[in-house]
Amino acid sequence: QVQLVESGGGLVQPGGSLRLSCAASESILNINDMGWYRQAPGKQRELVAAITRGGSTNYADSVKGRFTVSRDNTKNTMYLQMNSLKPEDTAVYYCAARTILTIIRGGGMDYWGKGTLVTVSS
């Protein structure tokens, strides 16, 4: 059963915008943190933005001022608004989630989506 599902990726021109969504199944219990990661061909996966259940956020330096992460806890959904997109933003974007227990144990994200492709090109 798919537990995290990303949507909203696609092709956009430099300077354009996209909004990604990640829907989390209610079968995942006690989610505290959610985040967006991305991986470009030949590169390591990197954290783009993360948000706690309480709304605290952090961003990669490369996207600060351009991307905004948010979540609707009643809908179990996280969003990533991406503005002023650059070719270097091209990557597969993955949604991830981490439970409270994993946080206590010092572990990383527990659940991952399949990813959605964002291509920024003219």
pLDDT, tens digit, 9 for 90 and up, residues 64-101: 999 999 999 888 999 999 999 999 999 999 999 999 99
Terminal CA-to-CA distance of the chain, rounded, Å?
37
SS3 assignment, position 88: helix
SS3 assignment, position 42: coil
What percent of the chain is predicted at pLDDT more than 90? 91
* DSSP-assigned states of every residue in 45-58: -EEEEEEETT--EE
8 Å CB contact between 98 and 33: yes
8 Å CB contact between 44 and 54: no
* Mean pLDDT rounded to a whole number for the chain: 95
Give residue 29's pLDDT: 84
- In angstroms, the CA 79 to CA 86 distance is 19
8 Å CB contact between 28 and 2: no
Give residue 9's pLDDT: 98
40-62 residue pLDDT tens? 999 999 999 999 999 999 999 99
